[in-house]
Amino acid sequence: METNWNWAAGAAIVSLILTVAAMPRIISYFRREQLGQVTREEGPAWHAVKSGTPTMGGVGFLLASVAATIAVSLVSDTLTTRTWMLVFIVGLYGTLGFLDDYIKLVMKRNLGLTSRQKFMGQVIGGILFMLVHQWAGFSTELYLPFIGTIDSVWLYGIFAVIWLVGFSNAVNLTDGLDGLVAGTGTIAYVAYAAIAWMQSDWDIVVFAVSVAGGLIGFFMFNKKPAQIFMGDVGSLALGGGLAAMSLLLSQEWSLLLIGLIFVVETASVILQVASVKLRDKRIFKMSPIHHHFEMSGWSEWRVVLTFWAVGLIAAVGTFFFLQ
């Protein structure tokens, strides 16, 4: 047990060091190439000062996390099919995010990938994930509230794809303030590392702490005032990784609490859009909801710290409801 924890700690440290070493070079390159964030016109006016800040920083911590995961898994003999499935999801979703960012910043097409292109890429990734899941013989039992546990490949497959796509986009929506996703993402990945440890799933522990270590390293450059943003390349991958871990640990519904902030952010957008279309009225001053609090007079740091606190309380509370 102690040896396993040593390897896990090593994975987190390696990922953190690689990220910290890479980020200054990435920031310098992006600044030199003028690959900076373009602030949305409909966003808060005070965010205009962030225009030009380098983005796509997720490349740094993702590569560091994947490298640490594979390297430590190899030497600790914890490299499994599940490890490759997790690496595949964050790699594919990260690639989709990278293409989206690249088209916006390098090719100067403001919309990047179309919503349809991005969605189809995420769905295809989810289907491939489930094909391997089925090939490996992993559990397809799914607990449905008020109904019970159902074991159906088709039901589980549909649920898994929705889960992967939904939470990938949920984290993407949350990434709007300096340090917000770096902090909430770290809390969520540490929570799943703890669940994996409780279930003795050390392959998933190594992956989870590797990503957490990378996020902590990234936060050093993403805290307010951010020197770099993670971009879609980071946020889409993080959400996909969280959903994949919840599926592989057979703790699917835990993500509703561990990822509570991501759920609330997404719900705020859905409610806002529905209200405007049906009632021609807004529920929030601006969505996602972190902008509502900003528009209400909260400082950016106050919003970020409050969301971190809520995310931490929800993550800790999850352990009282684990199956």
Per residue in 65-98, pLDDT (tens digit) is: 999 999 999 999 999 999 999 999 999 999 999 9
Give the global pTM: 0.94
Sign of CA dihedral 252, 257, 261, 267: positive
> Which pLDDT tens digits describe the chain residue by residue (323 residues)?
556 878 899 999 999 999 999 999 999 998 887 776 655 555 555 555 566 788 889 999 999 999 999 999 999 999 999 999 999 999 999 999 999 888 877 766 666 688 899 999 999 999 999 999 999 999 999 998 888 899 999 999 999 999 999 999 999 999 989 999 999 999 999 999 999 999 999 999 999 999 999 999 999 999 989 899 999 999 999 999 999 999 999 999 999 999 999 999 999 999 999 999 989 899 989 989 999 999 999 999 999 999 999 999 999 999 988 75
Closest Cα to residue 173, out of 107, 99, 236, 131?
Answer: 236
What is the DSSP secondary-structure string of 5-54?
A: HHHHHHHHHHHHHHHHHHHHHHHHHHHHTT-B----TTS-GGGGGGTT-B
Beta strands (DSSP E) in the chain are 141-144, 148-151
Beta strand 148-151 with 141-144 is antiparallel
Q: Which residue has the tokens 């008020």?
A: 146
Please state, in angstroms and rounded to a whole number, the distance separating the CA atoms of residues 242 and 188: 8
The pLDDT of residue 323: 59
Structure tokens that stand for 323 in this block: 């199956």
Distance CA 293, CA 51 (A): 21
Residues near 9 by beta carbon (within 8 Å), at least 6 away in sequence: 209
By the 10 Å C-beta count (0-12 exposed, 13-18 middle, 19+ buried), 107 is classed as exposed
The pLDDT score that the predictor gives to residue 40 is 55
Residue that the structure tokens 């946020």 belong to: 235
Q: What is the pLDDT of residue 42?
A: 55
Which pLDDT belongs to residue 321?
A: 82
Give me the helices (H) in 106-175, please: 115-135, 153-174
Q: Contact at 8 Å (CB) between 269 and 173?
A: yes
Identify the DSSP state of 226: P
Query: Coil, strand, or helix at residue 300?
Result: helix
Joined together, the tokens standing for residue 198 give 């409780």
pLDDT at 38: 59
Residue 69 · residue 87 · CB < 8 Å: yes
**Can you give the length of the chain in residues?**
323
